[in-house]
């Protein structure tokens, strides 16, 4: 529905929203409209930087529970107004941007911890809670989700589930999606549903997986039960330097396949070792930097380290000692703070992907070649940071120090690089993304990735959200 911002219809809708969430929990302030028109997506930042016209929400609402969200959904269907859930605004894919205006549902008032079950080691929490705040609560009892991404300071539980976030300890403890036991979801119709009390059943399709990674297009996750862990007795680190990427990758693969169960393996390519590792950690050496860690009972950890070290030495790694690994741990988030993080005027894109061990190096080389051959103005760096039994994740980035001043021109160049890089990834059996999501940023490539099965996703969306009110314009599912 189109409505004039000065029309009485606009004020009618605002009145109804205030009736649902309370007078003080609806904002149409210009200050809020600016703040919700930019997230961590480079293009939204670029638009703001250049003073270009912003795409803003019409209303920002702050519900306190699923029931209020349900009423907002019913209202949005009545008026056919887009609804976009906003967690912490830390997404890099523009997933929470109100690209079709409408209502922003800020989730941060849903920030209660309901229950910590020490017998089953689970925590039930509302999804608007900033994960660092959840960790503060859990730390009082020496337990943790073990979900430690750099965005832990600014992103919410729901944001991580909706975009399938990954933390630095994922290799042992899993991605956010692996931590979910059950959830409460408000469907686009306003209906509030609960998934089964436990996963891993043979009781039909696991409904959790309808919503994990759904980026707010199929509903809003309001409450979730997550797995927690005891804080381990020790966590020990070791760093190595390799002459080539192949040896580093082989070291990581063998550590995984020997069943050593590391909590961290991170392998930085030569360009990133030379730039970021040197700048943040002060390691002034040429080569491929690898850090790995094990945690748990000290005796077991020592043994794991003994075996892992043997593998790294066999592959001719130069032992940098434990200290150079601990340094990485201490400064693991520093890479994402100014002045260390890439920022405007630079153009930068994080093209994280995941593939089997058989394909991952091919993918890395393909991405690097695509950037360096076609875009001489761009640099390419990457690291491999989340490891599975069958493959690993590549966190590759391109950086242009001086993109065009004109925002439209800069966007075109930016998207061209993204298209070329991701098509190269897809051609080598990779996927569009591993842990940032799709959002508005790369939705246009979803059809190329899914091919004819994309229709399934589109039909699912249509079935659940016939009026397309939920986060339209995202994941390539249409406006």
Partner 1 sequence: MELEKNYPILKACRFCPMCKHLCSSGNLTMHESDYPRGRGLIMFSIYRGEPANEDYINALYNCFMCGCCLAGCEGNFNLPELIKSAREDIVNLGLEPKAVKELKNNLLSNGNIYGVTPDKSFTLQNKKYAINDADVLYIAGPSVNYNHFEIAEAAVRFFDKTKIKFSIISDEPDCGKALSLLGYRSEAKAAAKRFYEKVSELKVKKLVSSDPMVVDCLLNDFKEFGFDINSLVSIMHFSEFAEVVAKESDLSFKKFSKKITIADSEFLCKKNNRCESARNIIKNIAGENFAELFRNRKEAYATGEAAFYQNGSTFRDGAALGKKICNDALKLDIKTIITMSGIAKENILAAAKGRFEVLDIAEFIFANFRFTL
Cα dihedral 196, 202, 207, 208 in deg (nearest 10): 80
Q: Is 31 in the site for partner 1 (CB under 8 A)?
A: yes
- Classify 190 in phi/psi space as left (phi over 0), alpha (psi -120 to 50) or beta: left
Choice from 21, 60, 185, 277 touching partner 1 (CB under 8 A): 60
Q: Is 34 in the site for partner 1 (CB under 8 A)?
A: yes
Cα 120 to chain centroid distance, Å, stands at 27
Take residue 367 and report the two structure tokens written for it. Answer: 């991405």
Choice from 58, 68, 106, 269 touching partner 1 (CB under 8 A): 106
The Cα–Cα gap between 412 and 20 comes to 42
Q: Is 132 in the site for partner 1 (CB under 8 A)?
A: yes
The Cα–Cα gap between 89 and 107 comes to 11
The minimum distance between CB 92 and partner 1, in angstroms, equals 11
The minimum distance between CB 25 and partner 1, in angstroms, equals 9
CA-based nearest residue to 371, from 400, 395, 343: 400
Residues between 79 and 98 with contacts to partner 1, criterion CB under 8 A: 86, 88-90
Choice from 17, 21, 40, 432 touching partner 1 (CB under 8 A): 40
Choice from 4, 202, 203, 338 touching partner 1 (CB under 8 A): 338
Choice from 26, 99, 130, 371 touching partner 1 (CB under 8 A): 130
The minimum distance between CB 378 and partner 1, in angstroms, equals 20
Q: Is 53 in the site for partner 1 (CB under 8 A)?
A: no
CA-based nearest residue to 186, from 67, 106, 76: 67
Q: Is 211 in the site for partner 1 (CB under 8 A)?
A: no
Choice from 18, 67, 109, 229 touching partner 1 (CB under 8 A): 109
229 or 334, CB closer to partner 1?
A: 334
Beta bridge partners of 268: 289, 383
The minimum distance between CB 89 and partner 1, in angstroms, equals 6
Binding residues for partner 1, per CB under 8 A? 27, 29-32, 34-36, 38, 40, 45, 48-49, 51, 60, 62, 86, 88-90, 106, 108-109, 130, 132-133, 136, 139-140, 151-154, 333-334, 336-341, 343-344
């Amino acid at each position: 529905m189109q409505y004039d911002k000065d029309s009485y219809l606009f004020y009618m809708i605002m009145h109804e929203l205030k009736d649902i969430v309370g007078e003080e929990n609806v904002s149409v302030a210009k200050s809020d409209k600016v703040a919700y028109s930019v997230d961590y997506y480079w293009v939204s930042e670029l638009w703001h930087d250049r003073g270009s016209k912003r795409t803003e929400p019409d209303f920002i609402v702050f519900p306190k529970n699923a029931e209020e969200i349900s009423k907002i959904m019913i209202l949005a269907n009545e008026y056919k107004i887009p609804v976009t859930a906003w967690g912490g605004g830390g997404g890099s894919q523009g997933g929470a941007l109100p690209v079709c205006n409408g209502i922003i549902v800020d989730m941060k008032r849903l920030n209660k911890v309901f229950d910590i079950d020490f017998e089953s080691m689970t925590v039930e929490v509302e999804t608007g809670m900033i994960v660092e705040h959840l960790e503060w609560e859990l730390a009082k009892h020496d337990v943790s989700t073990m979900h430690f991404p750099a965005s832990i300071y600014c992103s919410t539980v729901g944001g991580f589930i909706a975009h399938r976030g990954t933390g630095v300890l994922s290799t042992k403890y899993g991605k956010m999606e692996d931590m979910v036991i059950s959830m409460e979801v408000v469907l686009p119709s306003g209906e509030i549903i609960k998934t089964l009390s436990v996963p891993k059943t043979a009781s039909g399709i696991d409904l959790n997986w309808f919503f994990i990674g759904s980026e707010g297009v199929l509903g809003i996750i309001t409450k979730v039960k997550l797995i927690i862990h005891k804080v381990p007795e020790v966590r020990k680190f070791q760093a190595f330097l390799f002459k080539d990427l192949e040896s580093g990758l082989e070291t990581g693969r063998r550590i995984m396949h020997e069943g050593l169960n590391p909590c961290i393996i991170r392998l930085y390519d030569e360009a990133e070792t030379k730039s970021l590792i040197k700048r943040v950690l002060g390691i002034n050496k040429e080569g491929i930097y690898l850090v790995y860690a094990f945690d748990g009972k000290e005796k077991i950890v020592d043994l794991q380290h003994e075996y892992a070290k043997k593998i790294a030495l066999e592959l001719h790694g130069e032992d940098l000692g434990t200290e150079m690994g601990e340094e990485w741990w201490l400064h693991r988030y520093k890479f994402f703070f100014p002045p260390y993080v890439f920022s405007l005027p630079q153009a930068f894109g994080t093209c994280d992907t995941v593939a089997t061990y058989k394909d991952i190096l091919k993918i890395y080389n393909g991405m690097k070649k695509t950037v360096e051959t076609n875009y001489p103005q761009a640099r390419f760096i990457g690291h491999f940071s989340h490891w599975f039994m069958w493959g690993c994740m590549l966190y590759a980035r391109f950086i242009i120090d001086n993109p065009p001043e004109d925002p439209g021109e800069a966007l075109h160049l930016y998207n061209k690089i993204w298209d070329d890089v991701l098509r190269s990834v897809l051609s080598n059996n990779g996927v569009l993304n591993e842990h940032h999501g799709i959002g508005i940023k790369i939705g246009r490539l979803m059809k190329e990735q899914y091919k004819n099965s994309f229709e399934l996703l589109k039909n699912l969306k249509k079935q659940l959200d016939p009026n397309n009110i939920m986060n339209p314009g995202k994941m390539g599912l249409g406006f």
